[in-house]
Copies of this chain bind each other. A is one copy, B any other.
Amino acid sequence: MEKDITIYDIARELELSPTTISRALNDHPSVNKNTKQRISEAAAQMGYRSNLFASNLRKQRTNTIGMIVPRLDSPFHSAVIAGIEKIANEEGYNLIISQSLETLHKEVANAKTMFDSRVDGLLVSLSFETDSLEHFEQFINRGIPVIFYDRVTEHKNCTNIIIDNLQAAYKATTHLIEQGCTNIVHITGNLKRNVYADRLKGYKYALIDHNLPFTESNVLKSQLTEEAGKLAAEQILAMNPLPDGIFVSNDTCAVSCLRTLKQAGISIPRDMAVIGFNNDLTSRVVEPNLTTINYPGQEMGEVAVRVLLMQMNGTGEKIPSNTINLRSELIIRESSLRGKASPKKKDILL
């Protein structure tokens, strides 16, 4: 079992002070070039590695970014994390990740752990249950920046990074209307969360702007799971008259709903056009392929961590609270193309 080399060992070896060793290894300008050279060679040769804890303890920062996500096993969050990890890595930051599993109590516990681990910054996408940001106040009180992405809530000291859910939903609904749909159902999630509330608004405004009636009974609240998709399909089949278009707030649920409708003898998109949200892999596997909104997960992650780094290394002055909107796009596939022939290209980007 080898022993760790410290700057004291190097100092002894080269007959210098630990101070100089430390400065040399941090490329401090006041150390002679030749000395630096000697030191870094000795360090390499002796197998030195810096002790982050001693360093962190002294510097009062950890070079660590914390992340709290609802779940890791979601294609969208995976993409976000990939983007975050890439940039964080490049900038020399560690990433501590934990999942709230959509519960408030685990989100609170995770926040505490992140706080005790003294992360320098925090990236959060809120759980379904979260209705208070109290557990993040401890960070804000000590000047540790917190950034919310995707599932967000307004907070005067925090930046939010989102897509324009309202606009995306508006586009999707408008597309259904342009395909001739006049009786469109919307399947939504927990309206406490901005993403679902905004999509509902987009759906509503699109209807109104095209002189179609908005009726509460056409909005189905759901858990947006696979199972919930089946239930929603059954509710839809019980409607009279049957709707001719469905806009679902995620792909998992849309796919399961679509399949259940198909099994019941409904022809998609002829009888009903269907649009999902997320552009998950399943949207390209289901038959017919699902029209959906493409979410820039990786990009969202990259933007989030860049903004966070800016705030972490900022002058200490509070950057004014703000919201960053990323572009999303409607990807049109067979599930929503009615009447006309199917499109030449497989995927058409609006």
Q: Name A's B-contacting residues (CB within 8 A).
A: 1-2, 4, 49-54, 56-57, 62, 71-75, 78-79, 81-82, 85, 89, 94-99, 109, 113, 115-118, 141-143, 226, 252, 255, 259, 281-282, 285-287
Query: Chain B residues near A285 (CB, 8 Å)?
Result: 255, 259, 282, 285-286
Known: A95-B97, A98-B89, A285-B285. A116 touches B50 (CB 8 A): yes
**Chain B residue at minimal CB-CB distance from A140:** B1
**Chain B residue at minimal CB-CB distance from A2:** B141
* Copies of this polypeptide in the complex: 2
Q: Tell me the bound Cα distance from A168 to B254 in angstroms.
A: 32
Looking at the complex, which one of B75, B97, B282 makes contact with A97 (CB distance below 8 Å)? B97
Looking at the complex, which one of B52, B74, B85 makes contact with A117 (CB distance below 8 Å)? B52
Q: Are A118 and B1 in contact (CB under 8 A)?
A: no
Query: Chain B residues near A282 (CB, 8 Å)?
Result: 281-282, 285
Query: Chain B residues near A75 (CB, 8 Å)?
Result: 73
Q: Are A53 and B56 in contact (CB under 8 A)?
A: yes
In the complex, what's the smallest C-beta–C-beta distance from A328 to chain B, in angstroms?
Answer: 19
Looking at the complex, which one of B51, B82, B94 makes contact with A73 (CB distance below 8 Å)? B82
Q: Tell me the bound Cα distance from A109 to B89 in angstroms.
A: 10
**Chain B residue at minimal CB-CB distance from A287:** B287
**Chain B residue at minimal CB-CB distance from A1:** B143
Q: Are A118 and B2 in contact (CB under 8 A)?
A: no
